[in-house]
Amino acid sequence: MTTIDPSIQAKADAWLNGNIDEDSKAQIRTLIDQNPSELTDSFYQDLEFGTGGLRGLMGVGTNRMNVYTIGMATQGLANYLLHCFPDETIRVAITHDSRINNTLFATTTANVLTANGIHVLYFREMRPTPMLSFAVRHFDCKSGVMITASHNPKEYNGYKAYWDDGAQVVAPHDKNIIDEVKKITSFDDVNWDKNDALFQYIEEDFDAIYMKLVIGLSMSPDAIASQKDMPIVFSPIHGASGKMVPAALKTFGFANVNIVEEQAEPDGNFPTVIYPNPEEAEALTLSLKLGKEVGAELVLACDPDGDRYAAAVPNASGEFELLNGNQTGSLLTYYLLSKWKEAGRLDGNQFMVNTIVTTELIDRICEGFGVKCFSVLTGFKNIAAIIKDLEGKETFIAGGEESYGYLVGDFVRDKDGVSACAMVAELVAYYKTQSKTVFDVLAEIYNQFGFYKESLISVTKKGKDGAEQIQALMNDFRLTPPSEMNGIAVEKIVDVKESTVKNVKSGKSVKLDMDKSNVMQFYLADGSKISARPSGTEPKIKYYFSVNAPLSNTENYRKVEAELEEKLEGLKRYFS
């Protein structure tokens, strides 16, 4: 029989003796009697805000998403808001995606906030994350909450907390909110006595306000008009973007938008996919099938909360090829800067932002156009922080990250799958008017700035033991860093946690001017880069690989691509 750690038993007993519902108590007793290891995973830690806020498996316990952890987090948020904005009217916008317990968790959040005298603006219908971000700023809210677990499996849910700038909370607010939550020692410290007088719905007419700003991003209306019948396929993958993305495409002027009907209805069980993640080719199976049936020139899909997007286009053989986030980010960056330059709008006062694990090709493109590009830690909240810092001083054009997140313009302060889908469709139409395919354009980009190719390995390590294994891996990298990978010498090591940049040959280190994060990066003699980063929202450690080579002749696209793919596989084997 497995022995339960006394500290775990004490936390479980506190819940059993607390003011919670009988069903939850019965679940705890069952775990104690029949599944001590699951009990440990459920109680060994408290859920904390990571790069995506509060996220975890649904179930009973301090390390699970349930009405009690939601209530405690919301009480902590309420206490912090009341501290930060004394004697002010405090408004918080709330919505959710299609996940299981979506309305339960969203209304629990609303009830606790109103119980604390805070006004709640609650979307009457589910809406994508970017609309929540925009609503925070539009309605002059002090905060916002999005109930979602993004692209995680169906067993997960989450709670993205936003600040008054429309971005997810960053330091010091995230840590301060957690500190407030930790002060709550029993469920009786949560004010559950809701005040319906402080509750107001955000109605459907808000969609038009957001959509007017989305259409304002368009830079090639004439190209769209000439290609308006271009067949496009879209899937919301059972999520919250099923209304807004088709509306954006049609508002832009696209008249032949085909929806994947099997995935059109919101459903938190995500019955047609293994994972509702557009980064996974499997999630686009039905989309690509419909794409072949209608002869689509572009296939698009969003994750359940509509902030991430994916795109696939037919290659020279007529087969659909899934573009990764680095490719679509590079294409959008090149297209936008080309159009800004063509319009005479680049005057040195513009900037773009990406993350440290995103392709450096975007940096090279920005350099080529004379536009500043900031590199920040993973998490779109860090991109939003740069936008906020430079607001009113310089103009943000766009920014993104490799994980299929992109933002054009600054009226939203999070990645926006709705506007990104529309802009990708626009660039495909624009280059089609020039008799160019997406791969023709990529070849031109690679020819000018270098052929960059990236890949990713995600290693899942679940539970308390998994978390300890991930930490041990990172410790090993720091204590005994590799001198070579796949026979290629390591020349530079960046340790973001320790704020150091070390020259391996000389042994000298300089200080890294960036916020601390548990990330290590290895730069190799051939220009390759490998980044190791534990996920902030999932029980995973991620390895990001980037290789590059010149492309002197665009006709050699596939040959050089194959050579880079071989190099990537060699580096990935080092970590397998």
User: Is 287 known to be catalytic?
Assistant: no
Q: Which of 98, 150, 419, 528 is catalytic?
A: 150
CB 528 within 8 A of CB 536: no
Q: How open is the CA angle 270-271-272, to the nearest 5 degrees?
A: 100
Cα(122)–Cα(100) distance, integer angstroms: 18
Helical (H) or strand (E) element with 121: strand 119-123
**CA 31 to chain CA centroid, nearest Å:** 33
Question: What is the DSSP code string of 447-508?
Answer: HHH-EEEEEEEEEE--HHHHHHHHHHHHHHHHHS--SEETTEEEEEEEETTTTEEEETTT--
Instruction: Give the residue among 42, 153, 44, 56 at the shortest CA–CA distance from 105.
Output: 56
CA–CA separation, 319 vs 135, rounded Å?
Answer: 40
Rg (CA), the chain: 24
The torsion defined by the Cα of 382, 385, 386 and 388, in degrees rounded to 10, comes to 160
Neighbours of 349 (CB within 10 A): 12
DSSP 195: -
Tell me the C-alpha distance between 77 and 74, whole Å: 5
What residues does 214 pair with on adjacent strands? none
Give the H or E element holding residue 432: helix 417-433
- Answer whether 439's CB lies under 8 Å from 324's CB: no
The position carrying tokens 């405090």 is 90
**Using CA atoms, how far apart are residues 32 and 552, in angstroms rounded to an integer?**
65
Q: Which amino acid would we find at residue 106?
A: A
Backbone angles phi, psi at 453, to 5 degrees: -135, 135
Q: Which helix (H) or strand (E) holds 83?
A: helix 67-84
Catalytically annotated residues? 150
